[in-house]
Amino acid sequence: GTLVKSVDNVARENSKHILIGNGYHNPEDERQALELLINSRCDAIVIHSKGLSDEELIGYAQEVKGMVLINRHIPELAERCISLDNRKGAFLATEYLIRHGHRKIACIASSHDIEDTDERLQGYQAALKEHGIELSKSYIEYGEPNSDGGEVAMTNLLTKSLEITGVVAYNDYMAAGALAALDQNGIDVPSKVSMVGFDDGLIAR
């Protein structure tokens, strides 16, 4: 993804090489991947973990002085955490549509049970509330956080005949899938439906 490419670019500029371990938000897989990197004697480790507990990550941080956490905040490791304000980002995305006259705004959310999902959904809901728009759960659909998931979620929204004019997607990949669903149904973007993604992924550029 974008993060891995950016890390690799910086590593190459400094004559370093990267090793990649995937955990897929599964605690045991994340643990094995992290221990493999540690046993490989990596000088530094960039971690995006949703499966491991704060206590475990604190323990690993004590073992690896060059460890940095992405999109996770642990008070005891505050100086090593780089996190995105998911709630604020989703709030601004939703508010952007509202300021452009949209009132019937749907949200395509990730089906993964992680903090990012909850925080982005909270931002969407907060923006609607602040602007006096009634929240209806029928305007929210969940799917895998990829283009296929976005396409399925958008298709499900269209079957509800909600007269949606705006959509906030969990990420740019889901937004791309949603755009495909709209195109398949002959719905023009942005004249009929406006779409906002999240994350500034390569697919959106």
Res 61 pLDDT > 90? yes
- H or E stretch including 125? helix 115-130
Domain's final residue, options 49, 82, 115: 82
CATH number of the domain encompassing residue 10: 3.40.50.2300
Looking at the fold, whether 94 and 68 belong to one and the same domain comes out as no
User: What is the Cα–Cα distance from 64 to 83, expressed in whole angstroms?
Assistant: 20
Look up residue 114 and give its two tokens.
């992680």
Domain's final residue, options 58, 82, 106: 82
Looking at the fold, whether 55 and 144 belong to one and the same domain comes out as no
Q: How sure is the predictor about 6, in pLDDT bands with cuts at 50, 70 and 90? A: confident
Looking at the fold, whether 100 and 47 belong to one and the same domain comes out as no
Tell me if 105 sits within 8 A of 136, measured CB to CB. Answer: no
Closest-CA residue to 93 (of 122, 64, 71): 122
Looking at the fold, whether 120 and 170 belong to one and the same domain comes out as yes
Look up residue 11 and give its two tokens.
């590593």
Cis before 27? omega within 30: no
State the total domains in the chain: 2
Looking at the fold, whether 44 and 95 belong to one and the same domain comes out as no
Residue 50: give the domain boundaries: 2-82
Quote the pTM value: 0.82
Q: Is 74 exposed, middle or buried (0-12, 13-18, 19+ CB in 10 A)?
A: middle
User: What is the Cα–Cα distance from 184 to 178, expressed in whole angstroms?
Assistant: 10
Res 4 pLDDT > 90? no
Res 141 pLDDT > 90? yes
Domain's final residue, options 82, 117, 136: 82
Looking at the fold, whether 100 and 179 belong to one and the same domain comes out as yes
Average pLDDT of span 96-108: 98
Instruction: List, for residues 145-196, the tens digit of each pLDDT value.
Output: 999 999 999 999 999 999 999 999 999 999 999 999 999 999 999 999 999 9
Half-sphere exposure of 171 (CA within 13 A, CB side): 19
Contacts of 83 (CB under 8 A, 6+ apart): 69, 70, 71, 72, 73
